[in-house]
Amino acid sequence: MRFTHSMLGAAALAALSVGATTALAAPASAAPNTTPQKVCGSGYKTVNSAAIGSLGTVYLTYNAANGNNCVVTIRSNPGTAVDMSAWIYVPDTNEGDDDYGRYTSYAGPSYVIGKGHCVDWGGVIANTYVQVTGSNCASLKEHRSTYTR
């Protein structure tokens, strides 16, 4: 599936608007000790993360064996389903993946081939959004944005 950066932002807002009135299927309930590796797979190592306020964390992981990145958003305190997302986008290749819905403990996994490229990624829990752009590429400085709507 192909994405543009603006499509991801629009999809996030649309999904959150729809999610407020529609219950979507949630992934299997996760234990409070859910880790990015449990969600993405055992070959994935955490290479970056960003706090989503006090609500949880969005993790960027990488699998050196296949060149894939995976993003997952994990709540600090699982509970009643809330709007959540995990997304990743590679500007160089215009490839991305996302998971938006109402979940009890985590959103994702979202995968993309990111080897040799900078990635943009982020997540949402309830009404708090985190976006990291130009990430995990040695020659550029990443930019982080956090906001509550």
104 residue type, one letter = T
Residue 38 confidence (pLDDT) above 70:
yes
Closest CA to 61 of 104, 112, 21, 107: 112
Instruction: Enter the tokens of residue 98.
Output: 């996302």
pLDDT confidence tier of residue 16, bands split at 50, 70 and 90: very low
Where is pLDDT greater, at 24 or 100? Answer: 100
Checking DSSP bridges between strand 82-90 and strand 106-113, what pairing results, if any?
A: unpaired
pLDDT tens-digit readout, 70-104: 999 999 999 999 999 999 999 999 999 999 999 99
Where is pLDDT greater, at 115 or 139? Answer: 115
Question: Rounded to whole angstroms, how far apart are CA atoms 106 and 73?
Answer: 5
Closest CA to 59 of 132, 149, 137, 9: 132
- Three-class secondary structure assignment of 90-140: ECCCCEEEEEEEEECCEEEEEEEECCCCCEEEEEEECCEEEEEEEECCCCC
Where is pLDDT greater, at 120 or 10? Answer: 120
Q: Does pTM top 0.85 for this prediction?
A: no
Q: How many CB atoms lie within 10 A of CB 89?
A: 24
**Residue 136 pLDDT:** 85
The answer to whether the Cα torsion of 67, 56, 25, 91 is positive or negative is negative
**Residue 4 pLDDT:** 43
pLDDT tens-digit readout, 42-65: 999 999 999 999 999 999 999 999
